[in-house]
Chains A and B, each alone.
Chain A
Amino acid sequence: MDPKQITTKERLAIPRQVMPAQDPVLRAGNFREVHLGLTPELAQMEALRCIQCKDPVCVKGCPVNIKIDQFIRLIAEGDFLGAARKVKEDNVLPAICGRVCPQEDQCEQVCVIGKKREPVAIGNLERFVGDYERLTGQRITPEMAPPSGRRVAVIGSGPAGLSCANDLARFGHEVVVFEALHELGGVLMYGIPEFRLPKEIVRDELDGLRKMGIEFRTDVVVGRTITVEELLGEEEFDAVFIGVGAGLPWFMGIPGENLVGVLAANEFLTRVNLMKAYDFPKSDTPVFDCKGKSVAVFGGGNTAMDAVRTAKRLGAGHAYIVYRRSEAEMPAREEEIHHAQKEGIEFMLLTIPLEFIGDDKALLTGVRCQKMELGEPDESGRRKPVPVEGSEFVLPIDMAVISIGNGSNPLIKQTTPDIEVSRKDTIVVDVNTMQTSKENVYAGGDIVTGGATVILAMGAGRKAALAIHEKLSVTAPGSRES
């Protein structure tokens, strides 16, 4: 079909193209990526479904306003590299966002085609162009402004930090990224599992950023190894961006939570993803031996899905999601929930844990639960679960993973007293510039919003980069005055 000749009616007649995926039974036994990606033919066919609206609402639905209509048109015309570059004008990490963005709540939710049919698979197309550029080895270093002579420190190498660093480098500023862990990428490396986001893709994106001249320093804990004050002082940075992400996990505060075998999703996923515990004993870090065991994950978000699907892949005989509301209220992406269901994850919905039960060696043996029913909507707009009398039961389990969210990392706050934090310990910023209460210090991502998404963190990083650039452009190099 010639993209210039095709009529709207013909476009609408094309069904949404299905992205090939690994067989569910097979993939539940390995850590390889679930989806295999669109072929160029499938991508072009999918791109033809876009009717090229005069007022593309999808662009407004995207937190970073990718020119979706334009990049899709380029795909339809077969100019895949052109499409990749078009996306990259607004989003530096298309291969990553195409995989982990909740498109169904953003661009695809507002897609006009989606009103009567399935929306254009914008996320799959974004992923396709990112992969195409990378796999064909045709990535170009973006155009960069001449060196400004100004230096910016970026704290944290997760999505917020990387997008901020990228934009600042393109504006011509010297950028140094500080990372506390031994590995770069933040949550993209320690949190999101391989089967949802292959680490090779993250490493490749990092290589691209290095080629732009961005310097990365691992093993630096800002707040401990060096303070924000020192970065602005003796280290002579003109500005600092804080993108340190979420912090310590929350627990439920029910009896028995201290038993051996109850752990936080952060720990479970960090062991498996960052420390490669799935490869124990080749890798030195162990993880709870799930083989043939019963594992329950408490929570209904994307992290809970990641954890339960990881347990399944580690050989769990039963892998449960225990969630107090119903499937409709689950914060996890629909796609992840469906993947989990197909892989054999058992969903115990409308169920709350009351108490963990252990043996005389303090080893977890089960969890006493209670069934719930949905009552009136609460302040979040979701129907509030209320306990059903006499519905208590004990679920035998060997490992429990708590996945109900995180607080914020306390180190920067403890060591930078003049940064204002909220009651929830997140950093307070001006929403337009992402500037904190401290001069020349900006922040974005989960440290500001609490646990959110990769794309929101990236949007915040970019917003901060622009504000930092504007600020540095009106002050003379070497001066600290605004």
Chain B
Amino acid sequence: MYRIVSAIFLAENIKKFEIEAPGIAKKRQAGQFLMLRLTENGERFPLTIADSDPVRGTVTVIAQGAGKSTRALNRLEAGDTITDVVGPLGTPSHIENFGTAVSIGGGVGTAIAYPTAAALKAAGNYVITINGARSRDLVILEDEMKAVSDEAYITTDDGSYGFNGFVTQKLQELIDSGRKIDFVLAIGPIPMMKAVAEVTRPYGIRTVVSLNPIMIDGTGMCGGCRVTVGNEIRFACVDGPEFDAHLVDFKNLSDRNRIYQQEERASDEAEAHRCRLSGQS
């Protein structure tokens, strides 16, 4: 059992947790993830480690309630426990001094981009961060991002805060202004990562994305997380989760991530039914 030390909502439906896991806290590097299993009948699901504190022995994850498990996680509070937490998994981000590095986070992807942006800064890069959200109330980690950025931009789809538009438009603007960009990290919804890849492709800017295929064991056994990169089969849990954005087959990833849509709906309905019965929301 793993104890939740703190649990705070950062925005509607987006919650930040510090979990006691000293072994993982000691080892974790930017870009790595955890597998969680909330209860005995729960599924195993991955969450990227947003931060860690080796001294206190805690790891930080940020979850957006999207499916049954993430919503159940977001109902937990400080003092509650999680049945299984395992990690740190995945190959750490490749960090070096590229020169000027742009870190792009879309929605809750900002939480995943944050540790890598911090590591890029620590490695001596000039770090520009672009963090996108649908609207102002969904912007997360603004101060944290600012603290690791030489330049920090917020974009909102509805223009309620920062730059009015998509992260890709802001990126294009930077490129068009003649800035020399040496490295781009993009983490967020699949369409956003694909769009960023298309923006940087013509300029040959090295671009990395962190992929989120369905995982079951997450430790290099089942093969469920296979993705197509450069026409080859790669496994996100051990070969990734970060890959060269210009080689990733994003369509294949989004197709394969849809496989359990029907079951997810059934699961949601069963959950809604139980909540009505128990009077919980």
Contacts and interface: CB of A to CB of B under 8 A. Distances in A.
A182 interface: yes
B266 interface: yes
Contact of A409 (B86, B221, B233): B221
25 contacts: A182-B37, A220-B23, A221-B87, A224-B27, A225-B87, A247-B221, A248-B221, A249-B222, A258-B256, A267-B223, A267-B224, A270-B217, A270-B222, A274-B216, A275-B43, A279-B41, A282-B41, A284-B42, A284-B43, A284-B267, A286-B267, A409-B219, A409-B221, A410-B220, A411-B219
B262 A289 contact: yes
Among all A-B residue pairs, the 6 with the closest Cβ atoms: A286-B263, A362-B255, A264-B223, A284-B43, A249-B223, A267-B224
A149 B259 CA distance: 52
Interface in B224-255: 224, 226, 228, 233, 235, 238, 249, 251-252, 255
A284 B41 contact: yes
Nearest to B270: A281
Interface in A349-368: 361-362
Contact of B260 (A249, A259, A286): A286
Contacts of B68: 284
Contacts of A283: 41, 43
B88 A264 contact: no
Nearest to A284: B43
A273 to B, nearest CB: 11
A180 interface: yes
Contacts of B256: 258, 260, 362
The B interface, classified by DSSP as helix, strand, loop or mixed, is mixed
A261 B259 contact: yes
A245 B43 CA distance: 23
A286 B87 contact: no
Contacts of A212: none
B220 A409 contact: yes
A181 B217 contact: yes
Contacts of A218: 84
B85 A266 contact: no
In the complex, which range does the number of interface residues on chain B fall in?
A: 35 or more
Contacts of B226: 251, 264
Contact of B84 (A182, A224, A267, A282): A182
A33 to B, nearest CB: 22
A279 B252 CA distance: 29
Interface of A: 180-182, 190, 218-221, 224-226, 245-249, 251, 257-261, 263-264, 266-267, 270-271, 274-276, 279-286, 288-289, 361-362, 409-411
B257 to A, nearest CB: 9
Contacts of A251: 226, 233
Nearest to A225: B23
B264 interface: yes
A108 B221 CA distance: 33
B97 interface: no
B84 A219 contact: yes
B121 interface: no
Contacts of B223: 248-249, 263-264, 266-267
Given A248-B223, A261-B259, A225 B41 contact: no
Contacts of B88: 224-225
B39 to A, nearest CB: 8
A218 B35 CA distance: 13
B196 interface: no
Contacts of B217: 180-181, 190, 270, 274
B170 interface: no
A285 B220 CA distance: 18
Nearest to B254: A362
Contacts of A224: 27, 87-89, 219
Nearest to B267: A281
A180 B89 CA distance: 11
Given A258-B252, A281-B270, A286-B267, 7 more contacts: A251-B233, A259-B255, A270-B216, A270-B222, A409-B220, A409-B221, A411-B219
A249 B224 CA distance: 9
A57 B188 CA distance: 64
A251 B83 CA distance: 33
Given A267-B223, A267-B224, A221 B86 contact: yes
B220 A225 contact: no
B259 A410 contact: no
Contacts of A270: 216-217, 221-222, 224
Contacts of A285: 43-44, 216
A461 B120 CA distance: 44
Nearest to A269: B222
Given A181-B217, A284-B43, A286-B267, A263 B84 contact: no
Contacts of B201: none
A260 B252 CA distance: 9
Contacts of A411: 219-220, 238
A317 to B, nearest CB: 18
Contact of B86 (A180, A261, A281): A180
Contacts of B228: 258
A190 B220 CA distance: 14
B169 to A, nearest CB: 29
Contacts of A288: 259
A224 B220 CA distance: 12
A261 to B, nearest CB: 7
B24 interface: yes
A263 B233 contact: no
Nearest to B39: A284
A253 to B, nearest CB: 8
B219 A180 contact: yes
Interface in B67-99: 68-69, 83-89
Contacts of B83: 182
Contacts of A260: 255-256, 258-259
A219 B235 contact: no
B255 A219 contact: no
Interface string B161-172: 000000000000
Contact of A361 (B27, B233, B255, B270): B255
Nearest to B258: A260
A411 B235 CA distance: 13
A40 B224 CA distance: 44
Given A260-B256, A261-B259, A281-B267, A276 B222 contact: no
Contacts of B27: 224-226
A248 B23 contact: no
Contacts of B266: 280-281
A94 B224 CA distance: 33
Contacts of A248: 220-221, 223, 235, 238
Contact of B221 (A219, A226, A266, A284): A266
Nearest to A361: B255
Contacts of A286: 260, 263-264, 267
Contacts of B252: 258, 362
